Chain A
Amino acid sequence: MINSSLTQLGAALRTKKISSVELTQSYLDRIARMNPELNAYITLNPEISLAQARAADARLANGNADPLTGIPVAQKDIFCAKGWLTTCGSKMLHNFVSPYDAHVITQFNNAGAVNLGKTNMDEFAMGSSNETSHYGTVKNPWDVSRVPGGSSGGTAAAVAARLCAAATGTDTGGSIRQPAALCGISGLKPTYGVVSRYGMIAFASSLDQAGPMGRSAEDLALLLNTMAGFDERDSTSLQREKEDYARDLNKPLNGLRIGLPKEFFAEGLSGDVAKAVEAAIAEYRKLGAIIVDISLPNTKLSIPVYYVLAPAEASSNLSRFDGVRYGYRAPEYGDLADMYEKSRAQGFGAEVKRRIMIGTYVLSHGYYDAYYLQAQKIRRLIAQDFTDAYKQCDVIMGPTSPSTAFKLGEKGDDPVQMYLSDIYTIAVNLAGLPGMSIPCGFGANDMPVGLQIIGNYFDEARMLNVAHQYQLATDWHGRAPQL
């Protein structure tokens, strides 16, 4: 059962081969066994999960079930969920029980899915290894001495280790795609504005986007059908007709034009990753695709631009964590300024503080024009690169991450090395485009390699089709770590 697709699970639930309570309990049992080592979950709440499972069983019995009714889904701990501890991986929110549901949570609740638990993540989604979490590092299920990637590392590890049927992530600079690649699962970051950010704790508002993480493109389509849709509570949510993201899954790929940006295959890319990605491209050729060489000349600027804009927004977004109304407050302090200083000094971890300081600096009087405005201009150039590229191709492909999962602690004291692991993913966020990662083989030390598929705006259905056809022809996505 733990290797079943969401479609198969849904069928089993509807035909009463298994109940949601049984399914949920079996996952909870598996989590109880394996989570102490993997640390993929921050919070479990079996009472709530099982109550939702019972409600789902009643709905299944009434015959008005949705495709996800009764299916246990894990939620990244960045989504506020009513009655759930919602920490965002930070000590700052160690005691924050949300009084309301994020839009994504509401969508899953309405579909009758079971919230299985809140998954671990880098603190405030700032990190690429899940090592910045206040709640401990997550281990990669393929090799517990290695990182799962980040920031949605808990989700990626939970999906890979079969500690949930599927899960959610968020992606500001690669936080869905990079851990998906490092843990050998599938993950999709939709076009900016497709999934409402309401109730998703903000890191960098103009880049943050929630998306599904699962074991196949087919599963992702079902999840995205539930997550996507206009929400008037998010002013950046896009008002579009509801669409079925699974509608094109079975289209053949004859004539599909795949753009390969030369910048994605240059210096910095590990040989083992390059080999796996090239093999995947060869597979696409067999499926009828045409390969087009393209260039994204401003890609190299995406990391510096990102590390101006994202910290700028974050420095402001994280100002609300001041110890006044909720969250962590220093136990002892003098005056008001001292309370702020101590609460924030003790409540935030090192990476978060580093980014708040960078962001504060680039927004400061006298530096704003040189950094923030300049970065905004380059951001438009980066987006323009993609617009030009899509005149020649339908999708863009390349590696998701320059290497496979690295060792825990390996890059911990070198932030710039850590930032470079998002070199292929960040430009996609800056442009607001959809991007996904699917498993395409194994590299050194038998660690998974991810293939990145970047689509044009609102081209999620086509990307899922492209990924699904590959997954019909290969079985990389079906491999599971030995635990």
Chain B
Amino acid sequence: MQWEIVIGLEVHTQLSTNTKIFSGASTAFGAEPNTQADAVSIALPGVLPVLNKGAVERAIKFGLATGARIAQRSVFARKNYFYPDLPKGYQISQFDLPVVGQGALTIQVEPLSGNAKPYEKTVRITRAHLEEDAGKSVHGNSQGVTGIDLNRAGTPLLEIVSEPDMCSAAEAVAYAKALHTLVRWIGICDGNMQEGSFRCDVNVSVRRPGEPLGTRREIKNLNSFKFMQQAIDYEVQWQIDTIENGGKIHQATVLFNPDTGETRAMRSKEDAHDYRYFPDPDLLPLEISTEWIEQVRGTLPELPQAKQVRYVSELGLSAYDASILTASREIADFFEGSVNSLFSQVRSAINLGAASSAEPYAAKLCANWIIGEVSAQLNRDGLDMTQCPISAQQLGGMIMRVIDGTISNSGAKEVFRTMWAEGGEADVIIEAKGLKQVSDSGAIEALVDEIIAANGDKVAEYRSGKDKLFGFFVGLAMKASKGKANPAQLNDILKKKLAG
């Protein structure tokens, strides 16, 4: 029996403001409990919320980046329920009038099974709204009581709600990853999933093709892409098994247990809260002017998809390279830094006519180095792009020396290793290590002449048709030059002289 899977996501992103959404308390992670709980965070009698404009700006950025309509007027509402880590007894959120309306995000899906090909898909975003985070209940301390830490209370969140457009765990994960990249790219969220800056709730249901939507269950608070995939896989199978065994799915909220790999219901719809939403009388409706939107638009960086298109059309990169180089804004920035420094050197070294053909080659070399050596080395050292010990300009400077023939590829690798470990500019390292290729044709000719004279028998064999011996002569010549002979030049000269 065939089953269709229907998945929608609600993602809570913590916005990267320094202070809370309704007060001046710090939002820094990891402080001693309650040291960042000011009067508003504690909800002392008489205190009032004042909206943080930075949070609104970040919401506007997100809306613009997903092609959504920014509401000129949106309203903060109170969501009422009792819980010890919710100090006011209500959460300030947005209900029927959110700040960001319908948008969309295009994702690249890599199917998990078999040899299916990657494909592109557009996921519709229903809305995104601003709200405040709750504090944390700290269970099971030494006195056996539950502690309350209100440092997180009032941290700004943007809750991003998708349409149920995803139909596999792979699509859900691809969407979550694309969203994760985007929010970091536009600088509205640090994306730190361990610290809870990016938390996903996944709504899952199954149905037989052609039937109406099945009853959904919501998997709460997934904070890793791996868990998300495991949780969805388990939940989907559980729902299918339940229905096939004659059972019914009841709407419920479930938690994923990474230790058992299972999902389990924490509350059913029967004990769902009546949140008694109503407009918060302490806050005026949020009015966003066209000028404000345009001002924010001016601060928006070029988005990953626009960059990918540009890398392919202007720099001649493959779509694959372009997608890897735009996996994060840091990588793209590094790539563009290298390419720009390289291009300016190429332009000053070669006349303009030659430059136009040299640039795609230079860009491709940069891409290869970053996707290859730089990434591998970062991985090995457990660093991220921002911690790369080599600057983009340094890498560009080194690649320039490959292009102009000063060093060979193997020489470049040595320069790279030295640069990584000890720092310094390529030219200084090349000089210090004597890595400059011999490009003096007179010197190479003399060297080749000597080899031909000393290996008369092999020369005869070559000339009688044993082409494979060419490599033998190259090896001898490289050895004699201590690896510094310009390989292209050496090839030409060897070929000519061996031909007699």
Contacts and interface: CB of A to CB of B under 8 A. Distances in A.
Interface of A: 79-80, 86, 88, 93, 96, 98-100, 102, 197-202, 204-206, 232-236, 312-313, 315-316, 318-322, 324-326, 336, 340, 360, 363-365, 368, 372
A365 B87 CA distance: 23
A319 B274 contact: no
B88 interface: yes
A313 B281 contact: yes
B148 interface: yes
Interface stretch (B37-45, B65-73, B287-295, B449-457): B37-45
B82 A322 contact: yes
B47 interface: yes
Contacts of B282: 202, 205, 235-236
Contacts of A100: 39, 44
Given A233-B50, A320-B88, A325 B45 contact: no
Contacts of B468: none
B281 A206 contact: yes
14 contacts: A80-B44, A80-B45, A98-B45, A100-B39, A205-B282, A233-B48, A234-B50, A236-B281, A315-B80, A320-B88, A325-B42, A325-B43, A325-B148, A326-B44
B46 A316 contact: no
A300 to B, nearest CB: 24
B227 to A, nearest CB: 28
B44 A99 contact: yes
Contact of A312 (B45, B89, B278): B278
B284 A322 contact: no
Given A202-B282, A235-B50, A320-B45, 18 more contacts: A96-B45, A198-B48, A201-B45, A204-B281, A205-B282, A206-B281, A233-B48, A235-B51, A235-B283, A235-B284, A236-B284, A319-B80, A319-B90, A325-B87, A340-B82, A360-B276, A363-B277, A364-B274
Interface string B270-312: 0000101110011110000000000000000000000000000
Contacts of B84: 322, 324, 336
A368 B278 contact: yes
Across chains A and B, which 7 residue pairs bring their CB atoms closest together, nearest first?
A: A319-B89, A363-B276, A206-B281, A205-B281, A199-B46, A201-B45, A320-B43
Chain B facing A: main interface SS: loop
A316 B48 contact: no
A88 B284 contact: no
A383 to B, nearest CB: 15
Contacts of A200: 46
Given A205-B281, A316-B90, A372-B278, A198 B80 contact: no
B204 to A, nearest CB: 25
A336 B44 CA distance: 20
B167 to A, nearest CB: 32
B42 to A, nearest CB: 6
A64 B327 CA distance: 65
Interface string B24-53: 000000000000000100111111111100
Most buried by A among B274, B278, B284: B278
Contacts of B274: 364-365
Nearest to B24: A233
B78 interface: yes
Contacts of B89: 316, 318-320, 322
B235 to A, nearest CB: 28
Contacts, number: 98
Interface string B209-238: 000000000000000000000000000000
A99 B281 CA distance: 25
B135 to A, nearest CB: 10
Interface of B: 39, 42-51, 78, 80, 82, 84, 87-90, 148, 274, 276-278, 281-284
A235 B48 contact: yes
A363 B42 contact: no
Contacts of B51: 235
Given A236-B282, A372-B278, A88 B45 contact: yes
Nearest to B88: A320
Contacts of A363: 80, 276-278
B45 A86 contact: yes
Nearest to A93: B45
A235 B39 contact: no
A171 to B, nearest CB: 16
Contact of B39 (A99, A312, A324): A99
Contact of A319 (B47, B48, B49, B88): B88
Given A316-B78, A319-B80, A336-B84, A102 B46 contact: yes
A229 to B, nearest CB: 16
A363 B282 CA distance: 17
A21 to B, nearest CB: 30
Contacts of A102: 46
A43 to B, nearest CB: 15
Contacts of B44: 80, 98-100, 326
Contacts of A336: 84
A235 B279 CA distance: 14
A287 to B, nearest CB: 39
Given A206-B281, A324-B148, A199 B276 contact: no
Q: In this complex, which of A98, A235, A236, A368 has the most chain B Cβ atoms within 10 angstroms of its Cβ?
A: A235
A340 B86 CA distance: 13
Interface centre among B43, B89, B90 (most CB of A within 10 A): B89
A199 B47 contact: yes
B90 A198 contact: no
A318 B148 CA distance: 20
B153 to A, nearest CB: 11
A232 B80 CA distance: 26
A322 B86 CA distance: 10
B24 to A, nearest CB: 10
Nearest to A344: B82
A201 B49 CA distance: 13
A233 B283 CA distance: 11
A198 B23 CA distance: 13
B46 A80 contact: yes
A27 B90 CA distance: 43
Contacts of A205: 281-282
A102 B47 CA distance: 9
Given A80-B44, A235-B284, A316 B50 contact: no
A262 B383 CA distance: 80
Contacts of A202: 45-46, 282
A141 to B, nearest CB: 29
Nearest to B275: A365
B373 to A, nearest CB: 54
Contacts of A235: 48-51, 282-284
B47 A198 contact: yes
A86 B45 CA distance: 9
Contacts of A204: 281
Given A316-B80, A316-B90, A234 B48 contact: yes
Given A102-B46, A236-B282, A316 B276 contact: yes
A274 to B, nearest CB: 36
Q: Which of A93, A324, A326 neighbours the largest number of chain B CB atoms within 10 Å of its CB?
A: A324
A483 B89 CA distance: 46
B45 to A, nearest CB: 4
B82 A201 contact: no
A205 B89 CA distance: 16
Contacts of A232: 50
A447 B39 CA distance: 44
Contacts of A234: 48, 50
A349 to B, nearest CB: 16
Contacts of B148: 324-325
A272 B145 CA distance: 62
Nearest to B137: A336
A144 B212 CA distance: 72
B364 to A, nearest CB: 55
A100 B38 CA distance: 11
A88 B44 CA distance: 13
B55 to A, nearest CB: 14
